[in-house]
Amino acid sequence: MYRSYLNHRTESGRLRCEPPRYLKCPEISLAGPWTPAMRSSKLSMGSGIMNHLLWSPMELMLEEAATKIVYPQAEEKLWAVAKCKFMQCIKRAIDLDSLRLSYSTKYTDNSVVETDQLIGLSKRADDVDTATDLVRKTVPGATFRLVEDFYVGINGIAHFNFKQQIKGIDIDNADFNVNILNGEVFSFGNSFYEGKVPESLSLAKRDAVDPVVALKGAVTTLQLPVDFQKASAKPKEGTETFALLSTTGTVREPEAKLVYLQTSDDSIALTWRIETDVMTNWLLTYVDAISGSEVKAVVDYSADATYQVYPWGLNDPTEGSRELLTDPFDDKASEFGWHSDGTTSYKTTRGNNGIAQSNWDDSSNYLGNPRPSDPEMSYVYPYPIESSDWKGYSNASITQLFYTSNMYHDLLYKLGFTEAAGNFELNNNDQGGRGNDFVVLNAQDGSGMNNANFATPPDGQTGRMRMYMWNTTTPWRDCSFDAGVIIHEYSHGLSNRLTGGPANSNCLSVQESAGMGEGWGDFMATAIRLKPGDTRDTDYGMGAWVKNAPSLRPYLYSTNMKTNPHVYKDNDALVKVHFTGTVWATMLYEVMWNLIDKYGKNDAGMPTFENGVPTDGKFLIMKLVVDGMALQPCNPTFVSARDAILDADKALTGGVNACEIWTGFAKRGLGEGAVYKLNARTNSFVVPSRVC
């Protein structure tokens, strides 16, 4: 008889691997042998760290941990646990934050544009020509291309994005966005490279390594679970783009594209951009094209029926009870309803905006995963909240996730996140943008614990949301029943698609902009959960129910400086994007209450508009946030994002809310004169004298 045993090494406190903890990891089958990267990586089980994993069909030898597990080949539970824990440890083993892109973007707001006569001279008969001429005048001598994702928002502003090139090859993080209203430049953002291009770059292309070599460099450096031993490169349509065939360990075949990259020392490097989707992370890894091994930077992309659900506005089970709702969709935002894509109708949790299912085994085959189905389209399932059998209530979880995600889709549509703007729909029905990109919604996902995530590729590729179980309580809690977590994750799709244009999902990749990506999610979730009796003295935590704590964040969202003392300069000491996001969301919370005090609060699930403007303060700030995302430059700072919100108000209302907006930001140190400088920001509590 085979048995498993653990020799604990506890004197240093490093290892505490207890067999009962294994049962908390969903059982999943091991698909094929492990790659060298998986065998050599640190493996986290429970609270312990096991290093240098060697394997054979009959045993795992965990050398440094002095731990040995022996089991029969047919017994897959421990293999499943090991793979599950390995996939969770990828993010812990590799500090992706240290590999973030680092460069600055300048945003020229409308107040500057209106006083610059040279910008006014850029007006041409055609908006595209006007935008193109502005780019040429702003960065003389630069070569660039127009990105094919331009559109006109519901506020009448046309958005154009340009990508800088060197000898026909993109500089992947050199972007110029132009916003045009009534034929004239309204505002613009610029991160074009303006330094000298070394003559040696003209020869670098011929010295570039094979893209398979760069794939090896990315996999090895980042310790990805990808087997590249048989990989080969096949050219694709487009400039220097290759499919990397015969690999295993990814959801879709990796892709390599030859691009230039602005580096942190203000120089230019030729790189292979390696795209790998390993479920836990969806990465763009920029590998030096000459060495094939040095990783320069990394971007992680890591939404008539009856439903029994916690209705929209109830954040979690502590705020109310589930109800039976019939056809809650908005017929303009979801013109096919929630269970049709315009061609096929479904009797399950699938439609034009998303497809929801459980994913206990961390499978990439979402179509084959279980989801509730009913010929009468009655999605009514029990949710015994005190039950430890979370798989037993999976249909209720999937239904809640499907409902909340679709409600948010419909709200965002009304606020301006339409097909043309890059929203998530399978069939765009000739409304602009690229279709075939509904959100894959995974409830009870087996790839992790105590978290959730959203992967946002460019427009035309499916988004992916993964909702995990949380073991912070007994019994565990399912975060599909926490609307705030769903809204936060879906908001990553919103902000990544709008910032820099739908075709570019790399525009929230610098520390401060990535932090704002987290902050927008917290803010939108908090705004949606406001209750009729709330006032500016009401405080809210984020993820309190799933965490079983007052908040996931260091402070509650509050207008009280004693409860939440965050100011802009706090970012100097914050190295995690969620903490940076807390500062940004706190500022937006201040602005929201200023606008609610001015216009009141609409407690309905959807906004009421008058001449395109929400009639209340809550939905007005949400609208300004969405419009501001589309105006701001690629990788904005707090300062440029603030200015974009002010410009959004100017375009929408003529700027009548400048006082309330400035006052909210200035209270938290982002007033007139606030300055962004990495690790040396300057607070300003000044409200411009002209606005109030």
The residues that bridge with 8 in the sheet, in sequence order, are none
Find all residues with CB under 8 Å of 498, minimum gap 6, and list them.
Answer: 417, 421, 422, 626, 629, 630
Report the amino acid identity of residue 24: K
127 is in an annotated binding site: no
| Exposed/middle/buried for residue 294 (C-beta within 10 Å: 0-12, 13-18, 19+) | middle
SS (H, E, C) 224-266: CCCECCCCEEEECCCCCEEEEECCECCCCCCEEEEEEEECCCC
Candidates 249, 240, 197, 252; CA nearest to 222 is 249
Q: Describe the strand order of the beta sheet including 439-443 as a list of residue ranges.
A: 354-358, 439-443, 463-467, 452-455
492 is in an annotated binding site: yes
Q: What are phi and psi of 254, to 5 degrees?
A: -60, 160
| CA pseudo-torsion sign 369, 370, 376, 380 | negative
**Strands 106-108, 43-45: parallel, antiparallel or unpaired by DSSP?**
unpaired
**Can you tell me the distance from the alpha carbon of 544 to that of 550, in angstroms, rounded to the nearest whole number?**
5
Query: Structure tokens of 569?
Result: 């300069």
Residue in the structure block whose two tokens are 């200023």? 594
**Can you tell me the distance from the alpha carbon of 683 to that of 565, in angstroms, rounded to the nearest whole number?**
13
CA 413 to chain centre: 18
Is 286:172 a contact under the CB 8 Å cutoff?
Answer: yes
Is 335:426 a contact under the CB 8 Å cutoff?
Answer: no
**Can you tell me the distance from the alpha carbon of 281 to that of 466, in angstroms, rounded to the nearest whole number?**
11
The most distant pair of C-alpha atoms in the chain lies apart, rounded to whole Å, by 86
**Can you tell me the distance from the alpha carbon of 107 to that of 156, in angstroms, rounded to the nearest whole number?**
20
Query: Structure tokens of 439?
Result: 């959100």
361 is in an annotated binding site: no
Is 437:424 a contact under the CB 8 Å cutoff?
Answer: yes
518 is in an annotated binding site: yes
Is 381:395 a contact under the CB 8 Å cutoff?
Answer: yes
Find all residues with CB under 8 Å of 423, minimum gap 6, and list them.
Answer: 409, 412, 413, 417, 433, 497
CA 172 to chain centre: 19
Is 222:285 a contact under the CB 8 Å cutoff?
Answer: yes
- Residues recorded for the chain: 692
Count of Cβ atoms closer than 10 Å to residue 622 Cβ: 24
**Can you tell me the distance from the alpha carbon of 186 to that of 122, in angstroms, rounded to the nearest whole number?**
12
Q: What are phi and psi of 175, to 5 degrees?
A: -130, 150
Is 159:151 a contact under the CB 8 Å cutoff?
Answer: yes
For the CA atoms of 478, 483, 484, 489, the dihedral, rounded to the nearest 10 degrees, stands at 80
Indicate which residues carry an active-site annotation.
489
Candidates 661, 548, 648; CA nearest to 598 is 661
CA 451 to chain centre: 14
What DSSP string runs through 121-181?
TT--SSHHHHHHHHHHHHSTT-EEEE-TT-EE-TTS-EEEEEEEEETTEEEEEEEEEEEEE
Q: Which residues are annotated as part of the binding site for Zn(2+)?
A: 304, 488, 492, 518
Q: Which residues are annotated as part of the binding site?
A: 304, 488, 492, 518
